[in-house]
Structure 1
Amino acid sequence: MLRSVFRLDDAVRAGMTPDQLRGRMYERIGRSVYRRRDTVIRPVDVYAAFSRSSPDTYLSHTSAALAWGIWLPPRIQPGFPIHLSRTGPDRTVPRQKNVIGHWSSAAPADVREIDGFRIASPALAWTQLAGSALGLEDLVVAGDALLQDPDGPPRAENVVGTNPLATTEELERLLQRRAGFRGRRLAMEALPLLRARADSRPESIVRQRLIRQGFPESEANPVLGFVEGRRIRPDLADRVHRIAVQYEGKQHNEEAQLGRDILRDADLERIGWISVRTDKAFFTPRGEQAFFDRLRAAYDKRGVIIGRVRRA
């Protein structure tokens, strides 16, 4: 049975005729790539069909990052155009409808085959993001996504791979091998800022901005202990001063989750910690400043004065 997105050779093997493909049920979306109009297409199926265009072509750049489930800015969404890279001595790039083509010097080991299509390894995709108009903060976020723990939140639907997608050692080795690629300087700057165990893009951003504001660096999602069998695992924790930061995503508005949040903060208080919470308001200038003020007040209670740092 054909997938919602398929190639011409798949259709031929299934016994379809050219007239059928020209009918109203199907739409050509790329060179020898078609979709069924009556089905919802999955991004991974689109990536698979396009990346199978030739043996030396593989999914790359932001398209590969999206397929792996790497955290990217909201402005980067699945869809067209798709990034494909080609290796080879002639340095030709893929050219077809709905495709941005690249020539790549990647080693064979840096390209994976998964779910029937070829794709840049998570580490290679991260280095490609460094040259794809991401700033330092977003590149660190993407790198944190590679280092997630297996026991973190479930991965998004319709992405490939399992956590962790890469290690810092793997990224270091790749940067040593890939000299001179576009974005290498930014990748080298970002690498020492990556941290394991982050659970979300907002959490990674909050952690980075805390450091830039002069707060002590916090550890992501450590298990601090148990209270009556409940695991205490704050989003960010400064163990030295016993201050926890919690980022409340939209799921925290649900009644059952609100109850768990109240209990979690009570558990932290019982073991002598201060919990400071924030949410999507952090991503407004006023909300961010209000959060930093609350956090400074928490450090004041510990006898630690945190000065104000002008935001870059």
Structure 2
Amino acid sequence: MEPLDLGSNWTWTDARRRGATRRRIAEGGEQLSRGLHLSRAQPSSLSVRCRAWTRLLPRDAAFGLETAASLLGVHTDPPPEVQVVLRPRPVLPRRRGLVVAVRDLRPEDVVEVGGLRVTSGAQTLLDLALRTPPAELLAIGDALLRARRLCEASLAERLARGGRVRGIVRARECAALLDGRATSRPESLLRYWLATSDLPAPEVQVPVLDRRGRVVAHADLGWERHRIAVEYEGRQHAEADQFGRDVDRYSLMAAGGWLVLRFAARHLGGPGVVVERSRAALVSRGWHPDTVRS
């Protein structure tokens, strides 16, 4: 007799109906929750787990919160439990491995990602506003813009009908600072700390020109007027090819009179070092604390 193929996921009831023994069910898959199993034959990614959960969820359920952020392309560690958003109803699903939030979702608040219903970028950002530190929220918003899962118009529309929902104030503050040109989470964190300090607001992807007016490099952040660049150095900068390109870029910037401030993972614990070193650099280039912020 050929082995029974239960597919990538199955419920206990369906597997038994198809003739699987209790032993076959136990040995063939990982139990996500009571009565829900995932095949061990494939990697247990977030999208795979979410697809399995759709067997038990109401049809109008949408994956939300940090789960939605991950599915929408924000590169972050997925939460241990799958999070879903449901419209109000008398009884909500209660299962191990599942977190349920209630929202009065409209059709425009849900998008499809790989065949899964997921809260839109705007809805996801609003839902995360209350539970996420402001700097991290900005990084998520930047990532959603970068992945083209969010746009200014859709966010403005969602926030306009936000009323007094919890988190709306932080979401609106975040919306004013979003910039899809940010290339990474660390860069977004640095920008938030600088933008909310008493220093001049930093510019993003600042062009560096040579003496002939040609663009020879772009700084992650900086102040073109003062020729100060702020750069984040991730692990990829240690690779031989990238290191060589960085040497060329920093040499060109120095030749053009630019002062480059370089930060790394050790500086992401808080704004203190980033803001104070940037302040010292600005003062050295003629900026004065009493200057009107622009």
Q: By the TM > 0.5 criterion, same fold?
A: yes
CA shift digits 1:43-101 (9 cap, x unpaired): 111122224522111101111112213355xxxx324321112225x353222221011
Match of 2:83 in 1: 83
Match of 1:43 in 2: 46
CA shift digits 1:179-237 (9 cap, x unpaired): 23222222123221222311111111111112333222122224445799985121113
CA distance in 2, matches of 1:269, 1:208: 26
CA distance in 2, matches of 1:227, 1:33: 65
CA distance in 2, matches of 1:117, 1:61: 14
Match of 1:145 in 2: 143
CA shift digits 1:251-271 (9 cap, x unpaired): 112232222111111121233
CA distance in 2, matches of 1:9, 1:20: 12
Q: Find out whether 1:67 has 2:71 as its counterpart.
A: yes
State the Cα distance separating 1:297 from its structure 2 match: 3.9
Match of 2:204 in 1: 220
Q: What is the SS of the residue equivalent to 1:240? A: helix
CA distance in 1, matches of 2:100, 2:80: 12
Which region of structure 1 is more displaced relative to structure 2, 23-32 or 96-105?
A: 23-32
Structure 1 113/16 Cα, relative in aligned 2: closer, same or farther at 3 Å? farther
AA aligned to 2:157 is R
Which region of structure 1 is more displaced relative to structure 2, 104-113 or 264-273?
A: 264-273
Percent pairwise identity: 27
Residues 140, 193 of structure 1: 8 Å contact kept:
yes
Residues 228, 281 of structure 2: 8 Å contact kept:
yes
Which region of structure 1 is more displaced relative to structure 2, 91-100 or 236-245?
A: 91-100
Q: Find out whether 1:305 has 2:288 as its counterpart.
A: yes
Which of 145, 154, 174 is the matching residue for 1:190?
A: 174
CA shift digits 1:141-180 (9 cap, x unpaired): 22122222xxxxxxxxxxxxxx222112211100112323
Q: What is the SS of the residue equivalent to 2:156? A: helix
Q: What is the SS of the residue equivalent to 2:26? A: coil
Q: Which runs of 5+ in 2 are unaligned?
A: none
Structure 1 232/24 Cα, relative in aligned 2: closer, same or farther at 3 Å? same
CA distance in 1, matches of 2:236, 2:179: 24
Match of 1:171 in 2: 155
Residues 85, 94 of structure 1: 8 Å contact kept:
no
Residues 210, 256 of structure 2: 8 Å contact kept:
no
Q: What is the SS of the residue equivalent to 1:198? A: coil
CA distance in 1, matches of 2:118, 2:10: 17
CA distance in 2, matches of 1:238, 1:3: 56
Residues 193, 275 of structure 2: 8 Å contact kept:
no
CA distance in 2, matches of 1:43, 1:139: 21
Match of 1:254 in 2: 239
Which of 241, 245, 250 is the matching residue for 2:226?
A: 241
CA distance in 1, matches of 2:284, 2:187: 24
Match of 2:114 in 1: 115
Q: What RMSD over aligned residues (CA atoms) do the two structures have, in Å?
A: 3.1
Residues 28, 34 of structure 1: 8 Å contact kept:
yes
State the Cα distance separating 1:245 from its structure 2 match: 0.6
Q: What is the SS of the residue equivalent to 2:250? A: helix
**Superposition pairs for residues 114-133 of structure 1, below 5 Å?**
114-131=113-130, 133=131
CA shift digits 1:89-133 (9 cap, x unpaired): x353222221011222010121112212111111111111013x2
Structure 1 231/35 Cα, relative in aligned 2: closer, same or farther at 3 Å? farther
Structure 1 116/164 Cα, relative in aligned 2: closer, same or farther at 3 Å? closer
CA distance in 2, matches of 1:238, 1:2: 59
CA distance in 2, matches of 1:87, 1:292: 43
CA distance in 1, matches of 2:198, 2:105: 39
AA aligned to 2:176 is P
